[in-house]
Amino acid sequence: MKYKTLQDINDAKEVISCPGDTLLETIKAKGLSQSDLALRMGRPLKTINEIIMGKAAITPETAIQLERVIGPSAAFWLSYEKQYRLDLAEIAEAEKLLNEAEWLLNFPLLAMKKLQWIDFENTIISKMEAILSFLSISGTEGFEPVYQPKFQYADFRTDSHGLSNKFAIASWLRKGELQAYELNIAPYSASTFKENLKKIKSLSINQPDDFFAQLTMLCNEAGVKVVHTPCLPGASLHGSTHWEKDTPVIQLSNRYKRNDIFWFTFFHEAGHILKHGKKATFIEGLQHTQESMKKEKEADEVAIEYTLTHEQETEIRSYFPLSRPSDLNRLAEKYNTHPACIMGRIARNNVKLNQQGWALGFFKKIELG
């Protein structure tokens, strides 16, 4: 859009000219009145007057008649009309965007620009255009009908580390959609996914430097897309699962960048794919309906099976407090998990950790770029 400021809009209003202005000048130069033109064109005088006033548009039929009666070409009149109507629409749209400027305050625009998701100049209209294009909606009124159904939940909740803002969440989800669109993978196979989850379990324990590349490859082989979408302020999400037609998509934020949380989140989202199929978009970290809470618990159970089972956790508790790091490593090896998964689960379930100082070292920081 060429109009970026209120001054641009006011300037445009001063200079804009409708085809009727030129039409009136032309017939005067030829010594014709509006009545003469109407008679020669076989059109009502009212129609000619409305065209001159800019109230009625010049149609292709009218343009052809004008070409024959007063010239110049029909293409000239149609082009003039098209540009005039476009200018009017752009002026009206720019004014609308300026009047809706408060809507922008809902979005973490600077964070999105820093992540290079959007770009904009420091004007309201430029910012509005950037966010609307990113969300792929033509106006602010399109936000609720397009994005509210994606949430599947009544409202949002906060946690002690950040707010859940539906506008930030919608932006985060949209970025994940765009990332997923770029991936071409095999058709989804539930059996292959289940088989590859066993290999991914080993990745979660050993966690080589290229673990995320291996993780995405194993998921892609099974027809599951995995994308990493960095957190946005106001979107306190760890992950989500949605379906792109017949292809499941796991979107991970790597919130807190901690290995135990990352892996629990991944297996949780995998659980939604295995247990619940295409029925809904699942977003971990929001307030749920009773039905969705049941599905969240079912997905949690899948994550628990792949990280540390209830039975294993019960047995491990009997060993606490531990004396040295080697004791934790021994337990992790015995129960085929990562030490951080043990520490995360024990801490989450309110078991006092007498050795927190050295235990925290097992929470490996994950950087996904």
Instruction: Tell me how far apart the alpha carbons of residues 95 and 125 are, in angstroms, rounded to a whole number.
Output: 9
d(CA 13, CA 87): 9
pTM here is 0.86
354 has a pLDDT exceeding 80? no
Closest residue by Cα to residue 273 from 244, 315, 253, 232: 244
Using alpha carbons only, give the angle 333, 339, 345 rounded to the nearest 5 degrees: 120
Q: Report the distance separating Cα 215 and Cα 199, nearest Å.
A: 9
Distance CA 107, CA 171 (A): 8
Give the rounded percent of residues in the chain with a pLDDT score beyond 70. Answer: 90
Nearest to 274 by CA among 177, 193, 176: 193
Residue 248 forms beta bridges with which residues? 243
pLDDT, tens digit (0-9, with 9 covering 90-100), for 11-27: 999 999 999 999 999 99
Confidence of residue 287 (pLDDT cuts 50, 70, 90): low
pLDDT score of 319 more than 50? yes
152 pLDDT above the threshold of 80: no
User: Looking at the predicted structure, is the pLDDT value of residue 155 above 50?
Assistant: no
Q: Would you list the domain boundaries of the chain?
A: 6-99, 104-146, 147-307, 309-369
Superfamily in which the 6-99 domain is placed by CATH = lambda repressor-like DNA-binding domains (1.10.260.40)
pLDDT digits (tens, 9 = 90+) for 253-268: 998 899 999 999 999 9
226-247 pLDDT, tens digit per residue, is: 999 999 998 888 999 999 999 9
Distance, CA of 281 to CA of 275 (rounded, Å): 13
Dump strand ranges (E) for 229-292: 239-244, 247-252, 282-283
